[in-house]
Structure 1
Amino acid sequence: MDQVLSLVLTELKTDADAVAVAADTLLRHKGLAAQLTIRQRDMLVTAADDPRLRDLHEQRVRLHAAINARQLAGPSDGAMQTHRQRLAADRQRLDALESEIAQRSHGATHRLFELTWHDIAATLASDTALVELRRRAVFDFHAADRTKEVHAGACYSALVLRPGAPPAFVDLGDAEHIDELTGRVTALMSGRSQEEDTDKAARLRRAVLDPLLPALGGASRLLLSPDGALSTLPYEALPLDDGRLVMDRWLVCYLPTGRDALHLSQPSPAPGGPPLVLADPDLKLGTPGGANTRERAPFTPLPGAREEGRQIAEFLGVTPLAGADAVKERVTGAQSPAILHIASHGFLSPSVPRAMDPADFAVGDIVTPVDAHRQILVLDGTLATPMDFTLARDDPFERLSGRDVDDPMLRCGVALAGANTWLSGGDLPPEAGNGVLTASDLALMDLSGTRLVVLSACDSALGDTWVGEGVFGLRRAASIAGSRSLVMSLWKVPDRQTRDLMTDLYRRLWAGDGLAEALTGARQAMRRRYPHPAYWAAFVCQGDPGPVIDTRYQEDG
């Protein structure tokens, strides 16, 4: 894909037909892996005449959930070889199931490669612009040595679609510069950095938004599909030259890919049940795993979350699940609740530890093998087994980031009842599972009739970012599961401010505001009380920016 984009944008940018081909190529291929899964899921809605497909899907969900549980549980009694053999056998079975599912859903997935930019632009309202961002490789097609000099770095490009207008590509500049600036700006916005702001946010806006202005025309609503480091940026909080912010000029909502605009133009299935609100779970549920459980407990109670859950459940006319009732089984067993709201801790665990260069170790450092289960042979006091080492660490998230947990969708999620107990090696009642809802768990749920998922939890928008495929985390999971829209957080926000912003959001939704409008209004209100963006800019919305409250719940309430 990058070769096509680079060729067209450097050599053929005045050729309308070539630009159209590049637009189609980008829209068809960005985020393709997730889109194939989503198309297969959508087929189940109309699979009444193919019971075998539905049966295959149910087998796949059960087996995938079992693999996730086995990975996180780790080997029993230290039997690592047996553990890995069982995982390998389960994954072979899963591959076979997914292969047959792919064959039976070939027609639907094949149509992904037939859509055009015309199809997507036709779904946009007259006041809306779609911006598809791509971090791409740059190729020098005039290089003398075609084997060494063709690749010439990386840059960001944007495709802008407007109804009734041809596709417009805009180059935004060097990717490394934009990535570095984005990291600094998000650190300033979130309060993680105390560095003095020397116009960095305005410089970033001039780099990633100002070049788009001619193509945006008179649009007042933006659908943004970010890529790379820009997936961590709340565009709405960037300052304009006139003293306002982006959110004061445009209504912004994010999409996993530009193709999702086509999906949002179609009606969604009816909800499978009433709203589900879960808040402030009992993190110590179960039997503790050791004397140092309290010292290793990574999560603390959230009294503000409990009050948030109570108020929102009252809006929606349901009873919230809190404390010992906020167990995993109640979430994963729900079938397309109209709204799913979880107010708890979010987590993003570090990846599997990487080997360090021995020259980087200092005298007194405590080190540990990267593969802690490998047998060590010592001869005459000398290590005789080739082995990589890293610094030892006391990591309360070890069960989510330890050996053999290499799936980024297992290393992020939200804490449920019993989370601290499980993370410290304790035992939970069966209905609590392992006390955490990982992104992989969420992706296996059926949320095809769910109008809104709200993850009122720190870092719920984060994960491993893969260029061209998006963020592997809860935001990807909610999309795969079928939720029409999502509210998530890009960083940790204090408990009280989160509660106030969320209750204001639902008050506005209940009054009939669309999601993007309601979230913007709630953030602007919080901004007047707390000007620093750390308190209000973290929460962003993805998916359908329109209304989400079903009038039937208003009438019933």
Structure 2
Amino acid sequence: MLLERGRAAEAVELLRDRLAGLIGHLDPDERLPSGLTVLLRAAVRVGDRQLADEMAAAVVQLDDQLLPLRLAGASEQQARRLFGAYAERTATVLGHCLPPHPAGEAPSWLYELVLRRKGVLAERQGSAWLRARQGAGVDPGLLDAVRELRRQVAVLDIGGVEGASIQAARREREVVERRLEEAETELYRAVAMAGARAGTQPGPAAPVEVGRLRGALGPQTVLIDLSTMYRPDGTLRYVAFFVHGAGGTVRYRDLGATAEVNGRLHTLIDGLAVPGAAGQGLPELVGPDDPLAPRIMVSPTGVWGMLPMCLLPGPDGRPLIDGHVVSSVPSARSVMHRAGGADIAGGADGAGGVRRAGDAVVLGDPDFDLDFGEQISFFLRSSYPRLPHTGAEAVEVAGRLGVAPVLRQTATRGALLGVHRPRVLHIASHGIFLDAINSRIEAAEPRVSVIRNVGGTAVTQDEVWAGQVGPVGAVGQVGAAGPAAEHRRRVRWLHTIGPAAQLSRSALLLAGCNAWLAGVATAGAVGTGILPASEFALLDLAGTELVVLSACSTGVGAVDYADGSLLGLRGAALAAGAACCVSSLWAVDDAATAGMMSTFYAQLDEGRDPAAALRQAQLALRASHPDPHHWAGWVAEGLSAV
């Protein structure tokens, strides 16, 4: 309270002696690190740099001890709820301990704090993390239970419950989600116990020094790692850290207030998605004094993850793609985990490309309809057109990889879910991002309240409204049976109600999706014809060197404000175990995409790695289609195979 009233000196006098004797003691309620953070802010305001540095070190030490312990017994939902306080304290330490200049040198210990925090939650989302626990003293049945419950939640998120009200469908999902939380909590505790038996600490205890990161990057690569910080004036700002694999100091650059920058980035992204309206207002990510290298690897945060980094201007004003191979990674931690200290990028020219064998999987041109028109007698409110060029693309790519493509009626959910550790996985289809979430229709659906006598006390309890609705959310209507009513329900569920989980909002469309939307019954392998990122993350892609999501908006995701990561298909591919994923940031033309993919695979055949091959394919497409809308919206995320 004193600090908010501008009485920083009084806050220092009040807190200094009271907190000094408590430093070093673990506080499960996190009141001590919160109090130390307040003292840090007050010390900066009164100009006591020594006290500020002491409080920052104490906050970091406590959080480094507490965070692994808290995550060890938390489900994914619980982890997200508790991580926010750690992220806020991290941003406060960054903003109060970095020099007050727009750019300059950053202390290594300060950037190492980012290394220890960023990406911690994302590491546990997919099947790769689960597989890593197999054989480590954890019950395999528990791992399978978590995997299956995550799959059930994802299916309910997309398809709902046939014929049920929104409330009833959400309630069924909540029941499964509670079971999942219980299983995840049991799993993470088992992992912690197994670690204790092995003499290791729970949670993210691996060393994350800058020197180890430089060894993973190699001399030809610079990492630009984006994060957020609270400056002493209270503004939340973006900050970029520059780490060169060849050595030197860590540098930082203030990128501006998040509220202002987010607005500009959204406007820019919307413009890039429309032909002829792009290229204005590009932000400056690098300055004339920032170290660059032949290869630039960007670890974005928030909305930055949906921006084509290759299009941003370099120090000379030209797009970065003109002189650099530009790629993305979820976090610097992922670089160290994948590389194991090796040069992950290959040479400056991208040599060391993908080693391809006959175990690739190529899926394309799904039959979205599956002849559903013969089973209905009404016009559809929503459907997806065939993409004829995806068939030719799949045939050519499959020929290069020496396999038969999975096309038309066989390009189903079941076919993709059955994929097991292919060397390359290429999917040419529609991709969607579901904007609807927490809709007003859902909030307006009628609810039933019942008053019960519990121990002599009147208690009001909400119950699920059992009435069906047609269309979903039409208050007071009882839905009629039949494909037409089910069609309306499914369209409203998908496009108006929206999934409850952010990771389910990004999805691939496969064979039979139009048939499912039309309300007709589909075979088990077909299902909804929709595969969300939450299910994609559960694929077994261990050893997969490259995933190509050749479809619209497969690189778009929902921002996870707990840690700034992007939740979508491209991250799901890496969480499933793939080394690299190529995806798109907006709706792309399937004919132009087919041509670009042909060039991309030809470059792979010449020995370039995926990021370098994608750059060459984009430059070739730019030569014939200069508008950035056509060529800039592709991103290679992850590490190129060596």
Question: TM-score band (shorter)?
Answer: 0.7 to 0.9
Structure 1 residues 477 and 4, CA, compared in 2 at 3 Å: closer, same or farther? same
For 1:494, the aligned partner's letter is: D
Matched-pair contact (CA < 8 Å) for 1:399–1:423: no
Shift of 1:465: 1.5
Out of 404, 412, 427, the residue aligned to residue 327 of structure 1 is 412
CA distance in 2, matches of 1:346, 1:281: 12
Alpha-carbon distance, 1:529 to partner: 0.8
Alignment of 1:35-114 (within 5 A): 35-37=123-125, 41-42=128-129, 44-45=131-132, 47-48=134-135, 50=137, 52-78=138-164, 83-106=169-192, 107=195, 110-112=203-205, 114=207
| Structure 1 segment 124-163 matched on structure 2, within 5 A | 124-140=217-233, 152-163=234-245
Q: Distance in 2 between matches of 1:105 and 1:227?
A: 29
Q: TM-score scaled to structure 1, two decimals?
A: 0.81
CA shift digits 1:149-170 (9 cap, x unpaired): xxx2221101111232232222
Question: Could you say which residue in structure 2 is the equivalent of 1:381?
Answer: none
Tell me the residue number matched to 1:119. 212
Within 2, Cα distance between the matches of 1:369 and 1:157? 38
Equivalent in 363, 366, 384 of residue 278 of structure 1: 363
Is the contact between residue 286 and residue 428 of structure 1 (CA under 8 Å) also seen in structure 2? no
What residue is the counterpart of 1:252 in the other structure?
326
- Where does residue 261 of structure 2 map in the other structure? 178
Matched, 1:533 2:618: no
- Of 419, 423, 436, the match for 2:530: 436
Which 10-residue stretch deviates more, 444-453 or 181-190?
181-190
Change (3 A) 1:102 1:375: closer
Whole-Å separation in 2 of the counterparts to 1:482 and 1:111 = 18
Cα gap change, 1:165/1:132 in structure 2, threshold over 3 Å: closer, same or farther?
A: same
Q: Which moved more, 1:447-456 or 1:278-287?
A: 278-287
Deviations 1:488-536 (A, max 9, x none): 0001111110000011101111221111110000010111111111111
SS of aligned partner of 1:405: coil
Kindly tell me: are residues 291 and 193 of structure 1, through their superposed partners in 2, closer, same or farther at Cα, counting changes over 3 Å? farther
| Counterpart position of 2:285 | 208
Residue 419 (structure 1) shift: 0.8
Per-residue deviation, residues 346-368 of structure 1 (Å, max 9, x unmatched):
0011222544xxxxxxxxxxxx5
Aligned residues: 499
1:426 positional shift = 2.2
**CA displacement at 1:188 relative to structure 2:** 3.2
Q: Choose which of 335, 346, 370 in structure 1 pairs with 2:443.
A: 370
Provide, for residues 392-423 of structure 1, a one-character-per-residue CA deviation record: whole Å limited to 9, x for no partner: 9x898533345473112222211000011112
Give the conservation status (yes or no) of the 8 Å contact 1:345–1:414: yes
Shift of the 32–351 alpha-carbon distance from structure 1 to 2, 3 Å rule, reads farther
Q: C-alpha distance in 1, partners of 2:473/2:107?
A: 49
- Structure 2's unaligned 5+ residue stretches are 1-89, 345-354, 450-471, 476-487
In structure 1, give the amino acid aligned to 2:524: P
Q: Summarize the Cα distance change of 1:92–1:249 in structure 2 as closer, same or farther, 3 Å threshold.
A: same
Distance 1:46 1:154 in 2: 37
Which residue of structure 1 lines up, in the alignment, with residue 296 of structure 2? 222
Is the 2:133–2:191 contact (alpha carbons within 8 Å) kept by the matching residues of 1? no
What SS does the aligned partner of 1:259 have? helix
Could you say what secondary structure the match of 2:222 adopts?
Answer: strand
**CA distance, structure 2, for counterparts of residue 353 and residue 15 of structure 1:** 43
Taking a change above 3 Å as real, the CA distance of residues 156 and 130 of structure 1, as seen in their structure-2 partners, is same
- Is residue 187 of structure 2 the alignment partner of residue 187 of structure 1? no
User: Given the superposition, is the C-alpha separation of residues 111 and 405 from structure 1 closer, same or farther in structure 2, using an over 3 Å criterion?
Assistant: closer
Is the partner of 2:131 in helix, strand or coil? helix
Shift of 1:7: 1.3
**Alignment partner for residue 416 of structure 1, among 510, 523, 530?**
510
CA radius of gyration, larger in: 2
| Letter of the 2:239 counterpart | S
| CA distance in 1 between partners of 2:210 and 2:139 (Å) | 31
Match of 2:588 among 493, 497, 502: 493
Q: Secondary structure at 1:186's aligned position in 2? A: helix
Q: Tell me if the contact between 1:44 and 1:53 (Cα under 8 Å) persists in the aligned partners.
A: no
2:114 is aligned with 1:26:
yes
Kindly provide the amino acid, as one letter, of the partner of residue 25 in structure 1.
L
Whichever residue aligns with residue 208 of structure 1, its letter is: L
- CA distance in 1 between counterparts of 2:338 and 2:557 reads 24
Aligned-partner Cα distance in 1 for 2:170–2:537: 24
Match of 2:390 in 1: 305
Alignment partners' CA distance in 2, 1:406 and 1:127: 42
Equivalent-residue separation in structure 2 for 1:272 and 1:522 (angstroms): 22
Taking a change above 3 Å as real, the CA distance of residues 132 and 161 of structure 1, as seen in their structure-2 partners, is same
In structure 2, the residue matched to 1:149 is none
Question: Could you tell me how far 1:55 is from its partner in structure 2?
Answer: 2.1
Distance 1:244 1:47, change over 3 A: same
Deviations 1:459-492 (A, max 9, x none): 1011212343311111221121111000000011
Work out the CA distance in 1 between the residues paired with 2:249 and 2:151.
45
Aligned-residue RMSD, C-alpha:
3.3
Q: In 1, are the aligned partners of 2:358 and 2:401 still within 8 Å (CA)? A: no
Distance 1:498 1:136, change over 3 A: same
Contact 1:371 1:403 in 2 (8 A): no
8 A contact 1:287–1:428 mirrored in 2: no
Quick check: 2:157–2:501 contact (8 Å CA) kept in 1? no
Deviation at 1:60, TM superposition (A): 1.4
Tell me the distance in 1 between the aligned counterparts of 2:190 and 2:633: 41
Q: Which residue of 1 aligns with 2:94?
A: 5
For the residue of structure 1 that corresponds to 2:447, the secondary structure is coil
Identity of aligned residues (%): 27
The amino acid of 1:312's aligned partner reads V
Residues of 2 paired with 1:373 and 1:320: CA distance? 48
Structure 1 portions without partners, runs of 5+: 141-151, 356-367, 377-388, 548-557
Distance 2:474 2:235 in 1: 33
Counterpart amino acid of residue 412 in structure 1: S
- Preserved CA contact (<8 Å) 1:349 1:397: no
Give yes or no for contact 1:12–1:19 (8 Å, CA) kept in 2.
no
What does residue 464 of structure 2 align with? none
Distance 2:102 2:265 in 1: 28
2:536/2:572 contact within 8 Å kept: yes
8 Å CA contact 2:265, 2:307 repeated in 1: yes
Q: How far is the alpha carbon of 1:369 from its aligned partner?
A: 6.2
The answer to whether the Cα contact below 8 Å between 1:272 and 1:336 also exists between their aligned partners in 2 is no
- Pick closer, same or farther for the CA change 1:518–1:349 going to 2, 3 Å: same
CA separation in 2, counterparts of 1:43 and 1:424? 36
Letter paired with 2:628? P
Tell whether the 8 Å contact from 2:429 to 2:509 is kept in structure 1 after alignment.
Answer: yes
Instruction: Give the distance between the partners of 2:603 and 2:358, measured in 1 at CA.
Output: 22
Contact persistence 1:134–1:158 (CA under 8 A): yes
Q: Structure 1: how far apart are the matches of 2:184 and 2:371? A: 36
Which of structure 1's runs of 4+ aligned residues deviate more than 4 A? 10-16, 79-85, 239-243, 270-273, 286-290, 389-392, 394-397, 401-404
Deviations 1:110-130 (A, max 9, x none): 244642222212212112111
In structure 2, how many angstroms separate the alpha carbons of the residues matched to 1:190 and 1:78? 37
Contact map agreement 1:281 1:324 (CA 8 A) in 2: yes
Q: Look up the equivalent residue of 2:289 and give its one-letter code.
A: P
State the shift of 1:42 in Å: 4.3
Question: What is residue 520 of structure 2 aligned with on the other side?
Answer: 426
Could you say if the C-alpha distance between residues 76 and 529 of structure 1 is closer, same or farther in structure 2, counting changes exceeding 3 Å?
closer
CA distance 1:41–1:296, change in 2 (3 Å): same
Mapping of 1:312-351 within 5 angstroms? 312-351=397-436
